[in-house]
Amino acid sequence: MNAVISVSNPLLRITDLRVDFGSHTALRDVSFDLFAGETLGLVGESGSGKSTLARAILRLVRSSHGSVVWRGRDLLSCDSRELRALRRDLQIVFQDPLASLNPRMTVGEAIAEPLCIFEGALNARERTGRVAAMLERVGLTAHMISRFPHEFSGGQCQRIGIARAMILSPKLLVCDEPVSSLDVSIQGQIVNLLLDLQRDVGTAMIFISHNLAVVRHLSHRILVMYAGRLVEIAPRDALFAAPIHPYSRALLAAVPSPTPVSRTVQASAAPVEASSSQPVTTGCAFRGRCAYAVAVCAITIPPLEEMTPGHWAACHRGRELPASGLGTFRGC
């Protein structure tokens, strides 16, 4: 984590964001800030709304309510022309590196496309020079510029996707599971590449992953999602040392560790069917899995409250639960 964080004003402010797909609510009441140079890790089980949140921020899916304020401008109220101009600073790296590249375009054409859109004054030679330099920067070589995506490995395709996203030096990079489809040996290389690029450019990142070790390595703060809601927001070290929400405790306790996890932590993660992570309109969505649930948990949705300085959790009993005992987490 080499980037310098500016906390004077949020670069991005999400307020009460909601996304509906027909009668299904995928996101509800999501609010948080992101600062310049900061990396926010976003974790939660499959179906919790992580990717939907990423796409809603970039207006790749339609939001039903709320605001996404980018440097003082609400992206949800921008017209198409204004949004197009803002997109040079808002980039994304997708989960499947090969599927995110056009098979009919050479990698040089794919990386150069943002330059053609946003820096039209560049001539062909200048664009080629920028693309070649970017290929070198992400660990590939300039002579690969005329090759097609199918000629590369998964790790190389992800490097190409990162090169395409970073060619304009964006101020925000959203990484949606960018290493989940790669071999473990390649994951570390991609993570270190992202850190190096962030250090050089000062880009803020939202990094989505199931790999808690990677999230811990990259992130300054971590957001935990469950059933379309944020249930905990905390600085990285605070979350891994002492998670507050029972779901966060269960999530960390599920990581294999040479140090036995206490029975108290294990008890908070009862067996559950896949449908339990769907959003609910009343009460705490996690109450059916929670060993600490009480009557109020079935009636009132817990608000996201600051339990300790900088550490927020949405749990009716967050201030009274015993210490989690997860300070020995060794997932990294």
Compute the mean pLDDT over every residue in the chain, rounded to the nearest whole number: 87
Share of the chain above pLDDT 90, in %: 72
Task: Map out the domains of the chain as residue ranges.
Answer: 12-219, 244-313
Task: Output 325 or 59, whichever has higher pLDDT.
Answer: 59
pLDDT digits (tens, 9 = 90+) for 33-77: 999 999 999 999 999 999 999 999 999 999 999 999 999 999 999
Instruction: Choose among 40, 38, 35: nearest CA to 9.
Output: 35
Q: Are 56 and 49 in contact (CB under 8 A)?
A: no
Across 172-183, average pLDDT: 88
SS3 track for 23-87: CEEEEEEEEEEECECCEEEEECCCCCCHHHHHHHHCCCCCCCEEEEEECCEEHHHCCHHHHHHHH
pLDDT of res. 2: 52
- What per-residue confidence (pLDDT) applies to 315? 95
Q: Between 327 and 115, name the one with better pLDDT.
A: 115
Q: What is the dihedral of CA 176, 11, 235, 16, to 10 degrees?
A: -80
- Read off the pLDDT band of 96 (50, 70, 90): confident
More confident residue, 187 or 325: 187
Interval 212-227 mean pLDDT: 94
Strand pairing partners for 306? 312
Instruction: Provide the 8-state DSSP code for 303.
Output: P
Residue 68: what pLDDT?
Answer: 97
Topology of domain 12-219, CATH: Rossmann fold (3.40.50)
Number of Cβ atoms within 10 Å of the Cβ of 1: 14
> Distance between alpha carbon 224 and the CA centroid of its chain, in Å?
10
Q: What's the pLDDT score for residue 273? A: 36
Q: What is the dihedral of CA 175, 176, 180, 185, to 10 degrees?
A: -10
The rounded distance, in Å, linking the Cα atoms of 40 and 133 is: 28
Whole-number pLDDT of residue 329: 37
Q: What is the pLDDT of residue 258?
A: 54
Residue 325 scores a pLDDT above 80: no
Residue 6, pLDDT above cutoff 80: no
How much is the pLDDT for 3?
58
- Express each pLDDT in 122-175 by its tens digit: 999 999 999 999 999 999 999 999 999 999 998 899 999 999 999 999 999 999
Is the per-residue pLDDT at 186 higher than 70?
yes
